[in-house]
Amino acid sequence: MSEKVDARGLSCPQPVIMTLNAVKKGFDKELEIVVDTKTSMENVSRALQSKGLKVKEVLEDGELFTIKASKE
């Protein structure tokens, strides 16, 4: 199953915690996280990589960042 995490408007470490909780729940294909600061994007990306996930792409749309990750 694909999982989406909307962490807009939240400051760190909340986006990282939400992302790690989604990883713990498990997913089959892709995890998508939306944040609204570059710092959150960087922290979430590092957290995903530390859990063995691959950050496939980061889309930037104005002030929004969408991080797409999958299991390797």
Low-confidence ranges of the chain (pLDDT < 50): none
Strands 3-6 and 53-61, bridge-based pairing: unpaired
Domains by residue range for the chain, with CATH:
3-71 (3.30.110.40)
Q: What is the pLDDT of residues 21-38, one digit of tens each?
A: 999 988 778 999 999 999
- Residues in contact with 45: Cβ distance below 8 Å, sequence separation at least 6, in sequence order: 55, 58, 67
- Model's pTM, two decimal places? 0.93
| Residue closest to 15 by CA, chosen among 4, 24, 5, 7 | 7
